[in-house]
């Protein structure tokens, strides 16, 4: 009898000479060399589910902010977290096996090594973004899943955070931790209702224009709007760049990555000064806000700004609820956070700041150790997570007066409004709107909370980026030898200087970040450090 696994794998042969790596964002590369990877990911997903006694595992087909011709895939753990690191390594090994027989052997070896009973049911949820290659790649995953005998739920098009939500809902259904109804409607109802409750009858000032990167966030936001309170009572949203009929427009001259990298609005943007705007990325797990000020100057409110805004608001509500002694809030950042943001949180908000290496999973793990962990990367990836104890405290606390009752009710609604499974651009966007409405703040007032230090990010091409090894949450280099000392010397030459270099996890390059008291000093420092990196690499 022929082995269905060998058959499925050989139906989608791997291109010769390519090496695949499950990196910070899963597998991601040109879509036309991904078929073999997707079939094997189907096998890994089935094994992972069996290793967890049939819990639902998620497979998301997306390449986020990458160009339209790319695609990718990532696996989601039962509570909506990113794949465990050990399984990232196994996925990489699986992706690089040559043919059907090798893969089938690896599959049974893995089962033996991890004591996985291949008779246990395997359950896998799949979804994809709007890329043209998505349908074909879905077919490849399906072939793998079918060969492994997995039960499959295909949700069609979803944002990445919606898929994480479905996975968490499916695995908690009927338990005391039930997260919601595992349907798209369930998602919209949950977040729409929480938005309404959290607003407490307050109305956002002006309207919000949302650039959807011509990705899956567009149609999903349009749907979500139907579940929000009427715009006259709450928030008027204009959806732009939502053309998913033209997949070649995805992330082109629009979206969160374009705005953050180029520090300007999409060229298509037609807003007036002081109009509030935000941009999602291609799979809607990142969001940044921005506006043109009264002098027509572009102003960015990135992930650092969202973190400080949200941390200050939640801090106020916890205090107003009378819970400041039992609940501590902390903020988690990466080295890319602007020094002024870090200082604002520590000195003005008087909250603890943790710094972790780049990549959502690192921030998420650090945030899990806090009562309330607000974590955002400067690029707009992030969310807030609440510990079990904190959730219990907030759920059970008896308010002593109407003020405490009101704050408690806001906190409870915020918990529902914040997607606990993963950073979610749509949910983060609504949270920002709630905070601005409560504070009656314009974007200018939000911006005025502190002044960013001028900074510069450069990309340096080197012979081998793997020789660049870091410590201290990527803030210092341990290799190449002697390079860090040279960087330190340059940093000391400028006022309020800070600089670091790290190998990119997604591109073949080393990234250099520098900030200083003035633009000229920051630019100069970045250039000098880039030069040092180039010579050393
Ligand atoms: C990935 C990460 C993102 C990080 C970026 C850094 C996830 C889901 N995504 O896109 O958080 O900021 O990589 O890219 O973890 P780099 O290593 O090229 O600088
Ligand atoms: Mg993304």
| Mean per-residue pLDDT, 471-475 | 98
Which residues neighbour 381 within 8 Å (Cβ) at sequence distance 6 or greater?
285, 286, 303, 360, 363, 423
**Smallest CA separation from ligand 1 atom 8, residue:** 25
* pLDDT band (50, 70, 90) for residue 89: very high
Distance from residue 508's CA to the centre of ligand 1 (Å) = 13
Give the mean pLDDT of 352-370: 96
Rounded Cα gap, residues 158 and 220, in angstroms? 8
**Ligand 1 pocket, residue 429 CB under 6 Å:** no
- State which H helix or E strand residue 363 sits in: helix 360-368
Q: How many A from CA of 220 to the centre of ligand 2?
A: 15
* Least distant ligand from the CA of 503: 1
Instruction: Grade residue 207 by pLDDT with cuts at 50, 70 and 90.
Output: very high
Nearest C-alpha neighbor of 315 from the set 250, 410, 224, 235 = 410
pLDDT in tens, 219-273: 999 999 999 999 999 999 999 999 999 999 999 999 999 999 999 999 999 999 9
| Cβ neighbours of 11 (radius 10 Å) | 16
- Please tell me the distance between residue 282's alpha carbon and the centre of ligand 2 in angstroms: 6
Q: Where are the alpha helices (DSSP H) in 24-150?
A: 35-51, 85-95, 100-113, 134-147
CATH assignment of 303-447, among 3.90.1150.10, 3.30.1490.150, 3.40.120.10, 3.30.1450.10: 3.40.120.10
383 lines ligand 1 (CB under 6 A): no
Q: Which residues pair with 128 in a beta bridge?
A: 61, 157
Q: If pLDDT is split at 50, 70 and 90, which confidence band does 1 have?
A: low
Atom of ligand 1 nearest to the CA of 381: 11
Range 363-377 burial, b when 16+ CB lie within 10 A, else e: bbebbeebbbbbbbb
Residues at the binding site for substrate are 377-379, 502-506, 511
Å from CA of 363 to ligand 2 middle: 15
Nearest CA to ligand 1 atom 11: 359
What residue numbers does the annotated binding site cover?
64, 281, 283, 285, 377-379, 502-506, 511
| Cβ atoms 221, 253 nearer than 8 A | no
Q: Write out the CATH class of domain 186-300.
A: alpha beta
Which residues sit opposite 514 in a β-bridge?
Answer: 456, 499
Among protein residues, the one with the nearest Cα to ligand 1's atom 3 is 359
504 lines ligand 1 (CB under 6 A): yes
pLDDT tens for residues 212-221?
Answer: 999 999 999 9
Q: Which CATH number fits domain 4-157: 3.40.50.2020, 3.30.930.10, 3.30.1360.120, 3.40.120.10?
A: 3.40.120.10
Name the H helices within 148-244. 160-172, 184-199, 217-225
Helix, strand, coil share of the chain (percent; to 5):
40, 20, 40
Q: Which atom of ligand 1 lies nearest, measured to the CA of 285?
A: 8
Active site residues: 64
Which ligand is closest in space to the CA of residue 363?
A: 1
Position 537 scores a pLDDT of: 87
pLDDT score of 24 more than 90:
no
Q: Would the CB of 505 count as within 6 Å of ligand 1?
A: yes
3-state secondary structure of 372: strand
Q: Give the integer Cα–Cα distance in Å for 227 and 459.
A: 42
Domain residue spans in the chain? 4-157, 186-300, 303-447, 455-536
* φ, ψ (nearest 5 deg) of residue 400: -95, -15
Average pLDDT over residues 349-365: 96
pLDDT of residue 193: 97
Binding-site residue ranges for Mg(2+) = 64, 281, 283, 285
10 Å Cβ neighbour count for 161? Answer: 27
Scanning the structure block, which residue is given the tokens 């390449």?
A: 63
pLDDT for 432 equals 98
Kindly state the average pLDDT of the residues 39-65: 98
Q: Which atom of ligand 1 is nearest to the CA of 361?
A: 15
Q: Is the pLDDT of residue 196 over 60?
A: yes
CATH architecture for segment(s) 455-536: 2-Layer Sandwich (3.30)
Three-state secondary structure call for residue 21 = coil
Residue of 29, 281, 359 with the most ligand 1 atoms within 8 Å of its CB, for mutation: 359
Strand partners, 23: 26
Determine the distance separating the centroid of ligand 1 and the alpha carbon of 53, expressed in angstroms: 31
Domain 303-447 in the same topology as domain 186-300: yes
pLDDT of residue 372: 98
Q: Cis link prior to 91 (omega < 30° from 0)?
A: no
User: Is 381 touching ligand 1 by the criterion CB < 6 Å?
Assistant: yes
pLDDT digits (tens, 9 = 90+) for 300-345: 999 999 999 999 999 999 999 999 999 999 999 999 999 999 999 9
Is any ligand 1 atom within 6 A of the Cβ of residue 511? yes
Which ligand gives the minimal distance to the CA of 25? Answer: 1
Q: How far is CA 448 from the centre of its chain?
A: 26
């Amino acid at each position: 009898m022929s082995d269905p696994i060998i058959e499925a794998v050989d139906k989608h042969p791997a291109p010769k000479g390519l090496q695949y790596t499950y990196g910070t964002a899963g597998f991601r590369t040109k879509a036309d060399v991904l078929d073999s990877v997707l079939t094997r990911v189907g096998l890994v997903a089935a094994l992972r589910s069996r290793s967890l006694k049939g819990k639902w595992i998620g497979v998301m087909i997306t390449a986020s902010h990458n160009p339209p011709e790319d695609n990718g895939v990532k696996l989601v753990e039962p509570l909506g977290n990113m794949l465990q690191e050990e399984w990232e390594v196994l996925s990489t090994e699986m992706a690089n096996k040559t043919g059907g027989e090798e893969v089938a052997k690896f599959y049974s070896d893995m089962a033996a090594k991890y004591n996985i009973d291949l008779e246990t049911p395997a359950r896998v949820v799949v979804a994809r973004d709007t890329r043209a290659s998505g349908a074909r790649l879905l077919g490849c995953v399906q072939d793998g899943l079918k060969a492994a005998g997995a039960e499959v739920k295909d949700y069609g098009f979803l944002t990445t955070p919606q898929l994480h939500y479905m996975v968490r809902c499916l695995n908690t259904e009927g338990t005391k931790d039930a997260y919601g109804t595992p349907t798209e409607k369930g998602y919209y109802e949950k977040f729409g209702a929480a938005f309404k409750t959290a607003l407490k009858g307050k109305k956002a000032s002006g309207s919000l224009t949302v650039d959807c990167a011509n990705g899956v966030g567009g149609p999903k936001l349009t749907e979500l709007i139907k579940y929000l309170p009427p715009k006259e009572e709450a928030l008027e949203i204009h959806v732009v760049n939502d053309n998913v009929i033209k997949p070649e427009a995805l992330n082109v001259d629009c979206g969160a990555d374009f705005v953050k990298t180029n520090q300007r609005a999409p060229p298509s943007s037609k807003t007036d000064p002081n109009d509030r705007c935000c941009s999602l990325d291609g799979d809607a797990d990142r969001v940044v806000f921005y506006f043109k000020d009264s002098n027509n100057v572009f102003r960015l409110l990135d992930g650092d700004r969202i973190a400080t805004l949200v941390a200050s608001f939640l801090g106020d509500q916890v205090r107003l609820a009378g819970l400041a002694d039992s609940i501590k809030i902390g903020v988690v950042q990466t080295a890319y956070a602007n020094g002024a943001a870090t200082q604002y949180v520590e000195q003005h908000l008087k909250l603890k700041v943790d710094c972790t290496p780049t990549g959502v999973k690192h921030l998420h793990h650090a945030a899990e150790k806090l009562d309330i962990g607000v974590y955002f990367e400067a690029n707009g990836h992030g969310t807030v997570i609440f510990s079990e104890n904190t959730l219990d405290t907030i759920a059970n606390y008896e308010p002593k007066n109407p003020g405490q009752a009101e704050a408690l009710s806001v906190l409870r609604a915020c918990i529902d409004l914040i997607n606990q499974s993963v950073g979610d651009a749509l949910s983060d966007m609504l949270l920002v709107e709630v905070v601005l409405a409560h504070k009656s703040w314009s974007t200018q007032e939000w911006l005025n909370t502190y002044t960013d230090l001028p900074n510069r990010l450069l990309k340096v091409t080197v012979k081998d980026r793997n020789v660049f090894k870091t410590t201290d949450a990527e803030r210092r280099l341990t290799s190449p030898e002697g390079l860090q000392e040279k960087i330190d010397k340059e940093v000391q030459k400028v006022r309020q200087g800070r600089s670091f270099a790290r190998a990119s996890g997604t591109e073949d390059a080393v990234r250099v970040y520098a900030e200083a008291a003035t633009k000229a000093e920051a630019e100069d420092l970045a250039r000098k450090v880039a030069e040092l990196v180039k010579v050393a690499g």
